[in-house]
Chain A
């Protein structure tokens, strides 16, 4: 074997890797591109056959209609701030709870974990009405708090953080910080969180998506159109026998932007975490 061979072999492997990854990228992205280009087409052109990826008569009409004829900015704003607040709080509470389950031994831990864990398996359609009745009783019907408060410590997030903390945070580091006199909460804040930043980012993305795309619960809770979130708003454009497809396309594209932006801003978090360096075991 000549000295060149491993390098060439590696180049070929990398080229193959890129090829596969690019094909997957196209599969993932082409439908989105079609939706994007359709948002710039007049309604009558969206469904030509065969479907066209490039608009033949590009127009901004859908977008201007979106901003003039329906309260799109308000929908967007509502969805944004509700989701951001809910996510910020949820990430904190989930990390806290996950840390407790991961790194502490306490009586009743098994049962408490099981209860939390099993709450993920309750089908939502079954508890929707009783939960709404409760909201109405405490005066939270048609209020934003009902969209946020019940969901700020989701079991999924706690379970997730527990697993990530178990995997990435060695006990030794925590012990060392204790010996140094740090408070428990201080350890959580200054030792654990930095290590699991990628997980926090992933949790933030999950929670944001969930909150942002949530449909059934806001539908039942909100009765004033002014308070509509984006999914409710977009769905109101899909009537019974008619569908405002131009608006729907434009609205969907714009609605997708915040999530993509969030993902973009968190990408560093999602890649880098402080790995502790020492090999476990």
Chain B
């Protein structure tokens, strides 16, 4: 197909190099293009990953010999209430990320995409700003906001609604809410970038056609934006899901997993088992479990969004 069949004195594009076996060359191209990832994967990721699976069947303190224990790490996990708690907590964070943060970001991005909006640059930069602060400072700021006695939020609530001070960081339920608020603050504006990038590629003509049909903003959103944006929405939702399943920073910096373990995430559980308790086998087992669950659920999500089926419409 890439053979040149018409010799012409003038070409629009520079003379393409003559290729021998161009069919094999064409066939090899995709492999060539994805090879950087695979070279790195084999060199750096595959070995440690396989090793981690092997490690999950052992007991190892990181230094010294390891001891075979079969599946007892896994059975221990199933009995471990701390692990159960971590799973439940992570489910909350995943739910908030996928069902609150992502739609919110899409809505804000659509709002920013409004034709004729001034200052789009400033808004975008401002919404992005929460991501640039280092976790140490974010945690400082948010304890200042959420502290029961000295916190700004309670002061505002007391002034506006007159309720008693909420023990944001000391109550298992409210601490999760505080972290979810932190998640929303930190990630919404950041996701707006991706949605905006996707929205930019939706041709204006489609919106105009819909307007001619008498569609209002809600219908335009539903009938033009959402379908056209499906691949990007799929990408954002799936990566948000994967990211939230592995969430570490926000719970760790705000409450260090407390009070008790009521905000500890699975990734924090793994880190604690590996590094604070020198229980690498146990951590690896938890990691394997997390991987399996995320993998399965992501397939479901991908299927739901039709990832891999967009071509050949």
Contacts and interface: CB of A to CB of B under 8 A. Distances in A.
Check A-B contact in the complex, CB < 8 A.
Answer: yes
Interface of A: 14, 17, 20-21, 24-25, 27-29, 31-32, 34-35, 47, 49-51, 93, 96-97, 99-101, 104, 106, 109-110, 112-113, 115-131, 134, 149-150, 152-153, 155-156, 158-160, 163-164, 166-168, 171, 178, 180-186, 188, 195, 198-199, 201-202, 205, 209, 213, 215, 231, 234-235, 238, 245, 248-249, 252, 255-256, 259-260, 263-264, 267, 270-273, 275, 277, 279-281
Nearest to A159: B235
5 contacts: A21-B112, A31-B133, A113-B308, A126-B288, A181-B13
Contacts of B246: 121, 123-124
B129 A32 contact: yes
Chain B interface size range: 35 or more
The secondary-structure label for the interface of chain A is helix
Contacts of A271: 120-121, 196, 200
B45 A267 contact: no
Given A181-B2, A199-B197, 9 more contacts: A24-B123, A31-B145, A34-B141, A47-B144, A118-B295, A122-B291, A153-B37, A181-B16, A198-B198
A272 B201 CA distance: 9
A160 to B, nearest CB: 6
B283 interface: yes
Nearest to A281: B313
Contact of B133 (A51, A126, A256): A256
B304 interface: no
A28 B271 contact: no
Nearest to A257: B132
Nearest first, the 8 A-B pairs at minimum CB distance are: A126-B287, A198-B197, A100-B33, A130-B48, A163-B235, A127-B48, A104-B30, A256-B132
B164 interface: no
Given A153-B36, A166-B311, A125 B267 contact: yes
Interface string B17-32: 1000000001101110
Chain B contact residues: helix, strand, loop or mixed: helix
A134 B127 contact: no
B231 A119 contact: no
A158 to B, nearest CB: 6
B92 interface: no
B199 to A, nearest CB: 9
Nearest to A121: B294
Contacts, number: 277
B272 to A, nearest CB: 9
Contacts of B38: 112, 116
Interface string B125-164: 1111111111111101110110000101001000000000
Given A125-B267, A279-B206, A183 B137 contact: no
Contact of A267 (B27, B43, B125): B125
Nearest to A126: B287
Interface in B209-240: 228-232, 234-235, 238-239
A121 B123 CA distance: 32
B45 to A, nearest CB: 6
Contacts of B238: 159
A162 to B, nearest CB: 8
Nearest to A129: B62
Contact of B132 (A24, A199, A260, A279): A260
Contact of A213 (B116, B134, B294): B134
B120 A104 contact: no
B231 A164 contact: yes
A17 to B, nearest CB: 6
Given A121-B295, A166-B310, A249 B40 contact: no
A252 B132 CA distance: 9
A14 B111 CA distance: 10
A184 to B, nearest CB: 5
B184 to A, nearest CB: 9
B36 A24 contact: no
A178 B306 CA distance: 28
A96 B131 CA distance: 27
Nearest to B305: A163
Given A106-B31, A123-B290, A273 B200 contact: yes
A40 B108 CA distance: 33
B256 interface: no
A155 B37 contact: yes
B257 interface: no
A270 B284 contact: no
Nearest to A101: B34
